[in-house]
Amino acid sequence: MSADTTTATRTDEQTTRGATLVTGASSGIGYELAKQFAAGGDDLVLVARREERLEALASDLRGTHGVDATVVPMDLTGATAVDDLLARVDEAGIHVDTLVNNAGFSVYGFYGETDPGTERSMLDLNVVALTELTKRVVPRMVERGAGRILNVSSTIAVYPSPGGAVYGATKAYVLSYSLALAEELRPHGITVTALCPSVTDTEIFEHGGMGESGLTSQPMATAEAVARAGYEALRAGDAIEVPTPRAKLLWHLTRLLPKSRAAKLSADFWEG
């Protein structure tokens, strides 16, 4: 990088304002995380497909906490979505101090019958968009010598998940990726936290056949409790947060079992 380019980049950073970018902010854990960050005084960039919900949330956060909230309605599964999102962020004069990768969805059902197109979209959102967005944001954090990243994984990341095979694999990716980055980026002043909740009461059960799984009969954590735990873990710089006692029990139990046994228990868990 030339001296002129370095100077220009630093000038650009000085003339922008920092904010927390939350994907999947229109409902569930993402919605509650946005409220946590706003209560802490952070300006926000709210990203999701449903513009009306984002606008309502942004209005509430501005009025309640006096923060600025920029709305970016977008489907992150598009081929140019990350480029388009960051272009909007740059145009608004914002740099990302904290990145919250929350957007995602699940697919439930017998693998021989689940829709491959839906699973491809799930991979694009849960894995590809998360990775590409992080990849684009990290270099600027490294240059500033500071930054925070919160990736929403799941307790399902530590055991095989018959009935949710591809979904579980995406969350295992997020956990492994997050822990590797946490170690790699720590010397650069950047913390990475993987939030790993168990079954949580969100709209995820309205999509991908999840409403037909036995998970709906399980005790559920509230999205507010999960978000609060994730926010506090991020602020503390913790690499992993497993919220709620039930989630912690499931986390430790399945890690101790042989993987074949954990897979059988997981199948029973998903079937109810």
> 138-145: which pairs have CB atoms within 8 A and are 24 or more residues apart?
138/181, 138/185, 138/190, 140/13, 140/95, 140/96, 141/96, 141/185, 141/188, 141/189, 141/190, 142/185, 142/188, 142/190, 143/9, 143/10, 143/13, 144/13, 144/95, 144/189, 145/188, 145/189
Q: Find out whether 199 and 272 touch, Cβ atoms under 8 Å.
A: no
- Tell me the sheet residues that pair with 82: none
Q: Name the strand (E) or helix (H) holding 256.
A: helix 245-256
Does 159 qualify as catalytic in the annotation? Answer: no
Residue 91 burial (C-beta neighbours within 10 Å; 0-12, 13-18, 19+): exposed
What whole-number distance in Å separates Cα of residue 43 and Cα of residue 208? 33
Residue 80 phi, psi (nearest 5)? -110, 15
Which residues, 6+ apart, have CB-to-CB distance to 164 below 8 Å? 106, 107, 108, 156, 213, 270
Q: Write down the residue that tokens 């999205």 correspond to.
A: 223
DSSP 8-state assignment for residue 26: T
b/e per residue 137-161 (b: at least 16 CB within 10 A): bbebbebbeebbbbbbbbbbbbbbb
**Which of 31, 108, 159, 167 does the annotation list as catalytic?**
167
User: Which residues are known to be catalytic?
Assistant: 167
